[in-house]
Amino acid sequence: MSRIILCTINARYIHSAFGLRYLLANMGELKAETLIREFTLEVWPVDIVEQLLGESPEIIGFGVYIWNLEPITRLVGLLKTVRPDIQVVLGGPEVSYDQGNLPITAMADYVVAGQADLFFGQLCSQLLEGDLPAEKFLTAPMPDLKQLALPYRHYTEQDIASRVIYVEASRGCPFKCEFCLSALDKTTWSFNLNEFLREIGVLHDRGARRFKFVDRTFNLQVDSAVAILEFFLARMDEQLFLHFEVVPDRLPERLRAVLSQFPSGSLQLEVGIQSFDSEVQSRINRRQNGEETEHNLRWLRQSSQAHIHADLIIGLPGEGIESFAEGFDRLVALNPQEIQVGVLKKLRGSTLGRHDQNHAMRYNPDPPYNVLSTGAIDFFTMQRLVRFARHWDMIANSERFPASLPLILGASPFERFLCLSDWLYRQTGRVHQIALKRLFMLFWDCMTGVLGVSPPVSAEALGSDYASSGIKGRFVPGGAGNKPRSNSVFSNSQGGKAGISSTRDG
């Protein structure tokens, strides 16, 4: 039994609710009466309500995010129906902006916008004493990081054994990229480095080996970045894995020197390219030197063993398919291990709305608020590009086709993979859950029958990939034996070939 429960729904079990652990660490005298309860999207809201009520809480605080807004809305509705006396407090990015237009905020008792690390505990003290705030919608002041108790000792042994451990050496971001809520921060704030490393050392001593830094610009403060990397180098073993998000055009020699010392499999760098088009970058207030970015990516691939996860975004204001294709081909030529092709989302609180009229931006009104069409990319073409992104993740990012994929991509990676994506969708009507053995057979049909790769070359490459895939037996070419779906929705939007020329508006 506990008077206060901190609750959220994670997308997957491997994820851990970093924000809830900050709240617990800063509950003061109420910490002993506070519990964290995490669930996943697979658990029914009514079952979550049953478990929460079994703890007999007086206050439940929910962390609301883009991936859990809908199930937590249902959860709060059920909770308030069964026990309307329990005080429900909402926080998180999905309820920090445009609060009055959300059904979930109408059902809650209080809604807190902003970073509530210190504020939530103070609010709970008020509520338990009967000192109820006059307003429903509250704003937490920016906390002084020096006053925050760090959350890392609230990772349990089970967390350390089976979940990603999220950490941060800083908060905020000095950049103004309009698709990102961090643009609202305007600057960065750093935690005391010695205290931070001391706590991370305790985690490491407890057995933590997978650390994901959530800092938006890890390499912005070079001294701190080098100190953190050297801290982990001194503790390097075969299990250690680190993930950092880095600014792509800032890689000074001091940082390169320490990055080059990490062995294979220990370091992943998330590099946000988003677009190589300088006009598009300027339009969304993204400052990035394309040439320096290319130079740094080449260095990372040639002189380090880091795994590079590079991001591109489909549907940015004013960027058409030709510009995106050029950027995609440019990135493929740089050979990062993973290219994450994302679809633009208009997050609550972002300033992207200022482009809606000039660039005819149309977004999904429901989570994940993905762009549906723009003045440069019509709806049907956008659907093709979404399928392109999902097929790329399934095929290229899975690293199951290292010998075959280069033959598919050839000299025009975007156009040829779009052709493959269109063809796969016509055959299967799917962008996921295609059996691996069937996917190999589909690959064979498309390589030899559509993309013009010679059968002997295709057979050798696919045979090599098949042998490494773990599928029993050997690859026997012969086709997937599937006829295309006849419904016109699975055809190209413009009725032409699956190349760039068939996707232009008009």
The mean of the pLDDT values for the chain is: 92
* Cβ partners under 8 Å of residue 506, min gap 6: none
Q: Taking 90 as the threshold, does the pLDDT of residue 186 lie above it? A: no
Closest to 209 (Cα-Cα) out of 187, 234, 242: 242
Q: Output the pLDDT for position 1.
A: 67
Q: Taking 70 as the threshold, does the pLDDT of residue 495 lie above it? A: no
**Crossing angle of the two packed helices 69-82 and 45-53, in degrees rounded to 10:** 50
State mean pLDDT over 126-145: 96
pLDDT band at 506, cuts 50/70/90?
Answer: very low
CATH class of 164-341: alpha beta
Per-residue b/e over 183-196, b at no fewer than 16 CB within 10 Å?
bebeebebbebeeb
What tokens appear for 360 in the block? 């005819």
Closest to 149 (Cα-Cα) out of 15, 21, 5: 21
Q: Output the pLDDT for position 135.
A: 96
Mind listing the pLDDT tens digit for each residue in 27-42? 999 999 999 999 999 9
Q: Taking 60 as the threshold, does the pLDDT of residue 484 lie above it? A: no
Mind listing the pLDDT tens digit for each residue in 211-261? 999 999 899 899 999 999 999 999 999 999 999 999 989 999 999 999 999
- Domain ranges for the chain, please list them: 4-143, 164-341, 400-506
Sign of the torsion angle spanned by Cα atoms 395, 397, 403, 406: positive
In 10 A of CB 383, how many CB atoms? 16
pLDDT band at 499, cuts 50/70/90?
Answer: very low
Q: Output the pLDDT for position 174.
A: 85
Bond prior to 406 in cis (omega within 30° of 0) = no
Mind listing the pLDDT tens digit for each residue in 334-357? 999 999 999 999 999 999 999 999
Amino acid at 388: F
- First-to-last alpha carbon distance for the chain, in angstroms, is 64
- What is the architecture of the domain spanning 4-143? 3-Layer(aba) Sandwich (3.40)
Whether the CB-CB separation of 332 and 308 falls below 8 Å is answered with no
